[in-house]
Amino acid sequence: MSTATRPQTQPSSGSTGEFVPRDRPLSWANIAKTIAGGYVPLIIATLVVFLPLLWMVLSSFKAPGEIITTDLKVLPQGLNFGNYAEAMTTVPFAKFFLNSVIVTTIGSVVKVTLAIATAYALVFVRFPFKRVIFVLILVALMVPPQVSILPNYILVAGLGGQNTYWGIILPGLGTAFGTFLLRQHFMTLPASILEAAEIDGAGHWRRLWRIVVPISMPSIATVALVTIVSEWNDYIWPLIIVDKPDMMTLPVGLTLLQNSESGSSGWGIMMAGAVLVVVPVLIIFAALQRYIVAGLTQGSVTG
């Protein structure tokens, strides 16, 4: 005599000992929870970030009559590159671009190098007050950078660093985030490899650049990418320390462009200038963004 198959059940969380049916994985309730709790917030966050950028790009191709109008037009009538040509000729855009490249390249290389050396010392070198120094680095992560603007200006201006490359680069050479991230990764490296290198006579400098750096490239690439983006987009400090157009970086140069195109006809030109500032770093970020995930998760799973 056959018996009917009963659905799988599981004990309820209560103390009554009652049994409740188990939800099916593809039930409408689970699908609704996934959409409401996952896809909807993701779509909203994407639109909040993407729509302003899309509007900026579309506005850079519009004529003044298409931007300042009561009849909203999302798409431009045509691909008019006149705004880009006007933006590049109104201000010394090529000089701004060169200054940004110089400041970003030198600042990022020195910043990442210091972060690597500092993180290595905090993990593999024995010296007094090492924990105290690491705590101070953590404290620096919590302090807004705007707090140090006035002391840095007094120091750099007193040393004659106004309108100079080193005056722009010097105050931002320390990176607490990069040091912290690399230090946490270095702590997950197998000690046996470094001990074997030490037995073979390798000093700290050789162990750092021959062993630690090659096997830590995802984390180092993450720090480098974040540093490049922050250096390229830095606005407040170059605006304060530079007052000559020949030394302005691209973000600061947009301010000069805005002052030159203050009328209603200048919105398209300013949008074109903003696109020219944002596109290079977006290309770099899109090409290297996979290293952020790999670098932030490297060493998070231990066997």
Q: Determine which helix (DSSP H) or strand (DSSP E) holds 142, and give its type and residue range.
A: helix 130-142
The angle subtended at Cα 135 by Cα 131 and Cα 155, nearest 5°, is: 115
Within a domain: residue 41?
Answer: no
Within a domain: residue 133?
Answer: yes
Within a domain: residue 124?
Answer: yes
Token pair listed for 217:
């490239």
pLDDT in tens, the chain (303 residues): 444 444 454 554 455 555 555 556 667 777 777 777 778 888 998 899 888 888 888 888 888 777 777 677 777 877 778 888 888 888 888 899 999 999 999 999 999 999 999 999 999 988 888 899 999 988 888 888 888 899 999 999 999 999 999 999 998 888 888 999 999 999 988 888 888 888 888 888 888 888 899 888 888 988 998 899 899 999 999 999 998 889 999 999 888 887 776 655 678 888 888 898 888 888 887 777 776 666 555 544 444
Q: Which of 280, 283, 256 lies closest to 270, judged by CA?
A: 256
CA distance 178 to 145: 15
Within a domain: residue 8?
Answer: no
Domain that holds residue 183: 82-297
| CATH number of the structural domain spanning residue 127 | 1.10.3720.10
Within a domain: residue 57?
Answer: no
Within a domain: residue 66?
Answer: no
In the chain, the number of structural domains is 1
